[in-house]
Homo-oligomer: A and B are copies of this chain.
Amino acid sequence: MHEPSLDILGIGNAIVDVLARAEDNFLDARGLDKGGMRLVGPEEAESLYAAMGPGIESSGGSAGNTCAVAAALGARVGFLGKVADDVLGQVFAHDIRAAGVHFPTAPLRGRAPTARCLILVTPDAQRTMNTFLGACVEFSAADVAETEVARAKVVYLEGYLFDPPAAQAAFYEAARLAHVHGRQVALSLSDAFCVDRHRHAFRKFVREETDILFANETELLSLYETDDYAAAVELVRGDVAFAALTRSEQGSVIVAGDTTLTVDAVPTKVVDTTGAGDAYAAGFLAAFTRGLDLAACGRWGAIAAAEVISHVGARPQADLKALIGGR
């Protein structure tokens, strides 16, 4: 087994975000569930865009965001995900490479366009996401390059990838290859509705393939179909080696065997919660793959999340290394 030359390899939907402010009654009138992510087709994406306020475009995607943040923290990072050969695909590829992330996946040519996520940010700083998957549905097991998986300490998978059918197979292929090469598999549950859509598949994947699980409260409760958080924590303790459970302003709980560690959130003015969980996972994994203890992993996660929610957009704008170093 070679020494790993990457710390983290993210695999996920390659998406460009379009962020706009919206009032609550805009969501109500369209029956949108605040805080969730739902999939939309091209026509609905177009009609929703026409009705939305002025937007800000920036590269997104859950695992893509995690990769960009982890790279900003000094981790060696790669990303696999499918864009199209169009302007937004160029934007995505530019941004993730400019963030220092190795991005080898070939773009899709002459078929569906690059995915976009229309994100409505309400005055309470919550985000409601409407994703048109576009080219992402073509990401398949064939795109999971064994050499990339083999050279990363941790392969990190976003739960959203359970939505495109071909990507589920890619997910399992990535986990299989990671374990063949003695690497670890991390999974983010991404979204309670996504867990709802694929609960059986998630439970199986968590139990059989996952070493490190990231989940917020509603995702964890949805996974185990319970409203008893303490019970869900004990269930996840039995399923995975490490679980990093985020609880918004209450910080996070890290569960590892007999250990249970509570980590405070870093106080900040919350402007837009888009990417909070992605950034937390990035901080955690950047510290974890550096060999730091679990308290440091949680602290790095909390610092990265606080930076990302303090401005519009899911990728860091401040110097994260300095924020870590300053504490």
Contact = CB atoms under 8 A, between A and B. Distances in A.
As for how many copies of this chain the complex holds, the number is: 2
A201 interface: no
A99 B52 CA distance: 10
Q: How large is the interface on A (under 10, 10 to 19, 20 to 34, 35 or more residues)?
A: 20 to 34
A94 B313 contact: no
A98 B68 CA distance: 30
A312 interface: yes
Interface stretch (A85-93, A104-112, A183-191, A260-268): A85-93
A311 B312 CA distance: 9
Contact of A54 (B53, B54, B98): B98
Contact of A55 (B52, B68, B95): B95
A313 B19 CA distance: 13
Contact of A50 (B49, B94, B96): B94
A323 interface: no
Interface string A30-62: 000000000000000000011011111111000
5 contacts: A49-B94, A54-B95, A54-B96, A55-B58, A55-B91
Interface of A: 20-21, 49-50, 52-59, 68, 86-88, 91, 94-96, 98-99, 311-313, 315, 317
